[in-house]
Chain A
Amino acid sequence: MISEATRARFAREAAKYPDNQRQSAVMACLAIVQQELGFVSPESEQVVAEFLGMAPMAVHEVTTFYNMYNQRPVGKFKLNVCTNLPCQLRDGQKALHHLEHKLGITMGQTTADGVFTLQQSECLGACADSPVMLVNDRHMCSFMSNEKLDQLVDELRGVASATVTETS
């Protein structure tokens, strides 16, 4: 089941397209699902399919084709570091290695406490800001020197542990 608030967000996206082309909103609806639940599960695909009047397999095709949809749960913060050539020339690869070292994981993995997932990513379209990374799909972080990476990780870890304390 989806909440009324989520349904309203879906409806706002679907309203952009002709009535017989509601499928056009599938990308946006899946992104909303991911923002709210952290990943796109088969159950969520079913909900989106019903809302837009699509076959669930057609929704699954979209989830699996586009790089940014998480098909399984990820850490509380997903860090995507661009290492494409323009970024590689400006320490993108080094930023990724620095994070691997700092978090004690290799790219593609999630830390044991479930706080961080680290991924290598392709061009984010912010080449002059390198080293550049995307956090949880929606927040671009620019000019990420090692010092800034340390600060980001430490402060996000603080946020994560504070939330755990509040809810326990």
Chain B
Amino acid sequence: MKTAQSVLAQFSAQGVETCFHDRHLGAQIYAGLNGNNWRLKDYEARGGYAALRKILGKDGSEPLTQDQVIATVKESGLRGRGGAGFPTGLKWSFMPRQFPGQKYLVCNSDEGEPGTCKDRDILHFNPHIVIEGMAIAAYAMGISVAYNYIHGEIFATYERFEEALEEARAAGLLGDNILGSNFSFQLHAAHGFGAYICGEETALLESLEGKKGQPRFKPPFPASFGLYGKPTTINNTETFAAVPWIIRNGGQAYLECGKPNNGGTKIFSVSGDVERPGNYEIPLGTPFSKLLELAGGVRQGRQLKAVIPGGSSSPVLPASVMMEITMDYDSISKAGSMLGSGAVIVLDDTRCMVKALQRLSYFYMHESCGQCTPCREGTGWLSRMVDRIEGGEGRPSDMDLLNSVADNIQGRTICALGDAAAMPVRAMIKHFRHEFEHHVAHKTCMVDALV
């Protein structure tokens, strides 16, 4: 007799398609994973926790000072992997280490940016790399307590992370006097329950305090007023996961994996119209054409039309631009978009851009927290207008009006969700205005839309 559990277990992802495909380039975070080797002993067999031992002086060498750890991370060129791309070492140096009260470290695993699914595979198949990265960060900033806030939708991953925490505690890698040193560090897991906005760092802090996830005005920044009003550093899951390799191999070696100002490898989640959607860990600075090739190329031999290169909030770029750029913060920024969270949404030549924007605009309306008027009202307005264009009710003045509404949201809200709703609209109209005009004039699509 089957139980609901056993029925559902048949449909659980195994990571074969998305992570263990052996099509990474110079993988560091995903290296050597197979789905069955996520436990502590396996991680240690891959060299895990050697970096923590090294900074604590438990591998026979001198311990590293806090300044040395931060300097190494600065030298590595590691930039935030969650979306903003802020230099990690610099962020760590903002933490007032001498502050006498409690300080907190927070990992942002609230991965809900449409297109992004990399942190889930890290946490599910290599949870200890995040624990080790967080322990090193906590040591460097003199922090004794941390939380990992995990997307509520990946509950099995949350439960696995808790299991990994238990393993680490039992082995003396978390808790009081880690490995016999005088460094003590407590790490706990928390979960969300369905709110995109909690990926914004101050909304995440509110949520972690047990409240509605409504973003806080900045300044003050979390480094001075964070969790429970205490100094707090927040980094993305992948950012922490990059740290052990940097400590083991040095900042310079990490920097050399990528390109100047864009150090290391980055995991790109490729979704949409490709043959092999999945996560691909590649050096920053790899040409987009190479990434597309790793992902099996455009589906069914169709032509590439456009790419949203950094998650749904980043401006769309046409195929001709994409095929010329390399995948790193500076190159994508120069092309007019953002590397963001590394979510690459690929659209082929059968896709209607109005319909694509319609779904995204609905999403931002649905997820606006309602705190700021321009976003609360503006996202609904944008969504209703794109709806009417798609539905054949559009007016010739609508494109300019869409731009105007987007202009009046962008830069006028507490957090970046308003900008995230506005940017796709402006970029879609900028690059594909003719499709919107066609919809208005002919009340139908230019392409035989399958979207």
Chain A interface (Cβ < 8 Å from any Cβ of B): 16-18, 21, 23-28, 30-31, 52, 54, 58, 61-62, 65-69, 77, 83-86, 88-90, 121-130, 134-144, 148, 151-152, 155-156, 158-159, 162
Contact = CB atoms under 8 A, between A and B. Distances in A.
B152 A128 contact: no
Contacts of A88: 356, 359, 451
Interface in B59-114: 102, 111-114
Interface in B343-365: 343, 345-347, 351, 356, 359-360, 363
Interface stretch (B128-136, B269-277, B400-408, B435-443): B269-277
B174 to A, nearest CB: 13
B114 A144 contact: no
Interface stretch (B6-14, B249-257, B318-326, B379-387): B6-14
Interface residues of B, number: 69
B105 to A, nearest CB: 14
Contacts of B212: 61-62, 65
Nearest to B157: A140
Nearest to B278: A128
B4 A128 contact: no
A68 B156 contact: no
Interface string B40-72: 000000000000000000000000000000000
A125 B117 contact: yes
Contact of B271 (A25, A89, A138, A158): A89
Contacts of B195: 65-67
Given A85-B356, A127-B117, A128-B277, 8 more contacts: A77-B4, A84-B114, A86-B272, A127-B116, A127-B345, A129-B17, A136-B4, A159-B4
A83 B18 CA distance: 19
A137 B153 CA distance: 7
A140 B351 CA distance: 28
Closest 8 CB pairs of A and B: A67-B194, A68-B194, A23-B210, A141-B11, A142-B13, A86-B271, A16-B188, A128-B277
B193 interface: yes
A122 B12 contact: no
Contacts of B269: 127-128
B151 interface: yes
B221 interface: no
28 contacts: A21-B210, A24-B209, A25-B210, A27-B190, A28-B190, A31-B152, A52-B210, A54-B210, A62-B210, A65-B212, A66-B194, A69-B194, A85-B272, A85-B356, A85-B363, A89-B271, A90-B272, A122-B112, A124-B154, A125-B120, A126-B154, A127-B343, A128-B269, A140-B154, A141-B8, A142-B11, A158-B2, A159-B2
